[in-house]
Amino acid sequence: MSMGRFHRHEDGTEHDHHHDHDHEHDHGHEHDHEHGDHSGYATGADRVVVLESIFAENDRTAAANRRDFDDADLTAVNLMSSPGAGKTTLLAETLRRLQGRLRAGVIEGDIETSIDADRLTGLGAVVSLINTANGFGGECHLDAPMVRSALPRLPLTDLDLLVIENVGNLVCPAEFDVGSHASAMVYSITEGEEKPLKYPVMFRSVDLVLVNKMDLLPHLDYDLAAFHANLKAVNPGVTVIETSARTGAGVDAWCDWLCALRQ
């Protein structure tokens, strides 16, 4: 008997589901009567229990990525944000300051263009670009197989840290495990205080939130306390570092957080 099947009729005998009423089955004939299916939908059908995650394939690849990172003694961080939060500018400043502290690599995920990857070259890090588009438009996130496809282009054993810069988007990237050890997001104060409540899954999925563009605070009608309260509502224990990629404020604290992942 195949696993997880409630009942079958090939031999006309086996039944291990519960009918909430008694009726006799005559197993010698064609079934054209109600079977008491629990969903109330299918009648005259066999139910096969599956209980399999729809992301199982992605998650298996994510586990393989993580194993490869562990074998290379490498820490991988999934860095997410909305478009324009300052992720690449912040990352450029980060790579500059990490030189001599950590050997860093970057997987740069973008729908189109090598603009961001170009901005990150010459800063002492190995950069591998994934463009998710083939033609017009492309995936709005990186998944584990996409990240896996970039690994052969990276000298994993020569690196301490791999930053996986995800596609700018606050929805889908939160759904896909890419095999990283930690997740962080760049949020900028120009996005508004309410964003944690509008994208709770993203804000909940990360270990660290970088609150970026802090240099703009004097010029904005922005309620920083309200943002912190909203963030706490969806992710009570999350670490927060206030940064400005432009002035460099907070970038050292973020570099320290990355270095601490190695200990």
For binding to another protein (CB under 8 A), which residues are involved?
A: 2, 9-10, 30-31, 37, 39, 41-42, 44-57, 171-172, 174-175, 197, 200-201, 204, 233-237
CB closer to another protein, 192 vs 248: 192
178 to 68, 118, 126: CA distances (angstroms): 12, 23, 19
- Measured between alpha carbons, how far is 143 from 130 in angstroms, rounded to an integer? 11
CB of 100 to another protein, least distance (A): 38
- Measured between alpha carbons, how far is 93 from 59 in angstroms, rounded to an integer? 32
CB closer to another protein, 200 vs 248: 200
CB closer to another protein, 9 vs 67: 9
CB closer to another protein, 50 vs 225: 50
Q: Which residues of 144-159 are buried (b: 16+ CB within 10 A; e: fewer)?
A: bbbbbebbeebebeeb
CB of 55 to another protein, least distance (A): 6
CB of 125 to another protein, least distance (A): 31
- Cβ atoms of 203 and 97 closer than 8 Å: no
CB of 153 to another protein, least distance (A): 28
CB of 84 to another protein, least distance (A): 21
SS3 state at 165: strand
Q: What is the largest distance, in Å, between two alpha-carbon atoms of the chain?
A: 82
CB closer to another protein, 30 vs 221: 30
